[in-house]
Amino acid sequence: MKKIPLLLMGCGGVGRQLLHHIIACRLLHSKLGVRLRVVGVCDSKSMVVAPDAFTTELDDDLLLQVCKVKSSGSSLQNLNNFGECKVFSSQDLARKVTDIATILGNSTGMALVDCSASSETIGVLSQAVDLGCCVVLANKKPLTSSLEYYDKLVSQPRRIRHESTVGAGLPVIASINRILSSGDPIYRIVGSLSGTLGFVMSEVEGGKPFSQVINAAKSLGYTEPDPRDDLSGMDVARKALILARLLGHHINLDSVKIESLYPVEMGPDVMPVEDFLVNGLPLLDKDIKNRIDKASSSGNVLRYVCLIEDSRYEVGIQELPRDSALGRLRGSDNVLEIYSRCYKTQPLVIQGAGAGNDTTAAGVLADILDIQDLFP
């Protein structure tokens, strides 16, 4: 049986769902001759690890307990007396992750899985690459920081997977990699790449207030931890940057033209997120409704569109015909049109659920299975 040691960073909506998927797939994976050995799980402050990363793992009862503790809003410290594990607190975290990566990286190998929404994981991920580990990301921040970090993370292409960073579980990165590796140059990508903003546009079209829809999107697990990451366009800009860099464009986030749906006075530096959700959002209801009604009166709809073409990198609202590919989108679906030599007149179109814990975690799990050949 092939064994893949795995350390999970981030135990929020996506991370917990990943643990549930791993447990639910035990039988399937054993038929495939693979076992995912979860050796550690950490959140922002603590980490729970197996007593000996070489020979032991966190068993499924303990993983379920991790999920239970985290979904109740408690700390992983509460697992101190539950089963065979050790719990470490904040100052030791990065060092402890690196210690495990050092032990396993050059022996059995290890998959370091980032389901956090933090930029603090970038250092440990890049060290893990040097230590011979694989990295699997749902977190977009490590790939959208400096070009130096990006180049480091992708320096061993067989050892990195990040399908869920764009379009959640949709096969966007894999499809682009296949097209590029066949020498077919991609010259234009256009799409709607935010589950949250897609959901918002179609629900507000249906008559619901913007503020209510954003809160619903948060409860459904579509938004980033702070929904302003979605509403500012920054989350889509990160996806645009990931795609542009995949196409070989050596650019940074400041090359992406971004349209925000809220004013600077409601930004994270000015207002705490709870304040924004309760008091800020309702102030935006009228303006968004007016914009949508105006488009509707001309038979159009509003969609938040991502465009990558030549040296144009733009994310923002566009008014589009209701019966266009993007105009027909409903709910949290994403759609992506890829134009290349082979897909010139008719683009390659990828469409489907583009956000949510289930599909995102499924994408992460498929990525982990995809690197199984690198493990003994």
Ligand X SMILES: N[C@@H](CC=O)C(=O)O
Residue ranges for the known binding site are 10-15, 140, 224
Query: Residue 176 interacts with ligand NDP (CB under 6 A)?
Result: no
What is the C-alpha separation between 112 and 41, in angstroms, rounded? 10
* 65 contact choice in ligand X, ligand NDP, none (CB below 5 to 8 Å, kind-dependent): none
What is the C-alpha separation between 185 and 295, in angstroms, rounded? 35
Residue with tokens 């992460």: 364
What angle do the packed helices 13-24 and 60-71 form, to 10 degrees? 150
Report the chain's terminal Cα–Cα distance, integer Å: 9
Sign of CA dihedral 168, 114, 220, 192: negative
86 labelled catalytic: no
What is the C-alpha separation between 276 and 268, in angstroms, rounded? 9
Burial degree of 166 (CB within 10 A; 0-12, 13-18, 19+): buried
Nearest approach, Cβ of residue 67 and ligand X (Å): 20
* 368 contact choice in ligand NDP, ligand X, none (CB below 5 to 8 Å, kind-dependent): none
Query: Residue 15 interacts with ligand NDP (CB under 6 A)?
Result: yes
Site for ligand NDP in 301-330 (CB under 6 A): none
- Considering the complex, state which of residue 53 and residue 76 has its C-beta at the smaller distance from ligand NDP: 76
For residue 300, give every residue at least 6 positions away whose Cβ sits within 8 Å of its Cβ, in sequence order, or none: 319, 320, 321, 322, 327
List the one residue from 4, 6, 7, 14 that touches ligand NDP (CB under 6 A): 14
Site for ligand X in 180-219 (CB under 6 A): 194-196
Question: Which residues contribute to the annotated binding site for NADP(+)?
Answer: 10-15
Query: Residue 230 interacts with ligand X (CB under 6 A)?
Result: yes
* Stretch touching ligand NDP by CB under 6 A, among 43-51, 176-184, 205-213, 248-256: 43-51
What is the C-alpha separation between 53 and 252, in angstroms, rounded? 37
Residue with tokens 């645009």: 240
Rg (the chain; Cα; Å): 21
* 356 contact choice in ligand NDP, ligand X, none (CB below 5 to 8 Å, kind-dependent): ligand NDP
Nearest approach, Cβ of residue 50 and ligand X (Å): 30
Question: Which residues contribute to the annotated binding site for L-homoserine?
Answer: 224
Query: Residue 65 interacts with ligand NDP (CB under 6 A)?
Result: no
Query: Residue 334 interacts with ligand NDP (CB under 6 A)?
Result: no
State the catalytic residue, choosing from 239, 257, 286, 294.
Answer: 239
Query: Residue 12 interacts with ligand NDP (CB under 6 A)?
Result: yes
Query: Residue 13 interacts with ligand X (CB under 6 A)?
Result: no
List the one residue from 355, 364, 365, 368 that touches ligand X (CB under 6 A): 355
List the one residue from 235, 314, 333, 337 that touches ligand X (CB under 6 A): 235
H/E/C letters for each residue in 163-218? HHHCCCCCCHHHHHHHHHHCCCCEEEEEEECCHHHHHHHHHHHCCCCHHHHHHHHH
What is the C-alpha separation between 202 and 2, in angstroms, rounded? 45
* Stretch touching ligand NDP by CB under 6 A, among 4-12, 31-39, 186-194, 266-274: 4-12
Q: What character string, x for contact with ligand NDP (CB under 6 A) and - otherwise, covers 214-243?
A: -------xx-xx------------------
Per DSSP, helices labelled H in the chain are 13-24, 26-31, 60-71, 93-105, 122-130, 147-153, 172-181, 195-205, 210-219, 228-231, 234-246, 273-275, 285-297, 357-370
Q: Which residues bind ligand NDP (CB under 6 A)?
A: 9-15, 42-45, 115-118, 120-121, 138-140, 164, 168, 195, 221-222, 224-225, 355-357, 360
Q: Which residues bind ligand X (CB under 6 A)?
A: 168, 194-196, 222-224, 230, 235, 354-355
